[in-house]
Amino acid sequence: MSHPQSYEILLVPGFVEETPEAGEATGAEGAAESGEPGTGSAAGETEGTAASGGAVRSAVVSATGETGASGYPRYAGDGFVADIDPATRTVEALLVDGAELTYGLTARVRERDDTGTGPED
């Protein structure tokens, strides 16, 4: 089975009540201990999340070719290391700047296409 080569992960506060759009999934709830709100790239955020100011950080992660401790493919980039289930697009494990997440944030996943951008709106 072929797995996507990259995803975009958005960290959104748990109180943001938005339903995921097509191609997005939720998982790995907690709060980043990085202390860097607003460091996500606005160009890569989904319209609903960016418009609401919901994402506090985002990253594009690429496949490493390794399997994580959770048994799912490992992706890394921009300070994030994630094990993502490609069938459900669920984040099974996530480190941000080497630290686990605590309560408060939700990780949303968006698959990227071959051109390096998200799905067309």
Could you tell me the CA-to-CA distances from 44 to 57, 58, 72, 103 in Å, in that order?
Answer: 11, 8, 24, 24
Own/partner pairs, 37-42, CB within 8 angstroms, 24+ separation: 40/10, 40/11
Spell out the per-residue pLDDT of the chain, length 121, in tens: 578 899 999 999 987 565 555 445 545 544 333 333 333 333 333 444 444 348 899 999 999 999 999 999 999 999 999 999 999 999 999 999 999 986 899 999 998 865 555 554 4
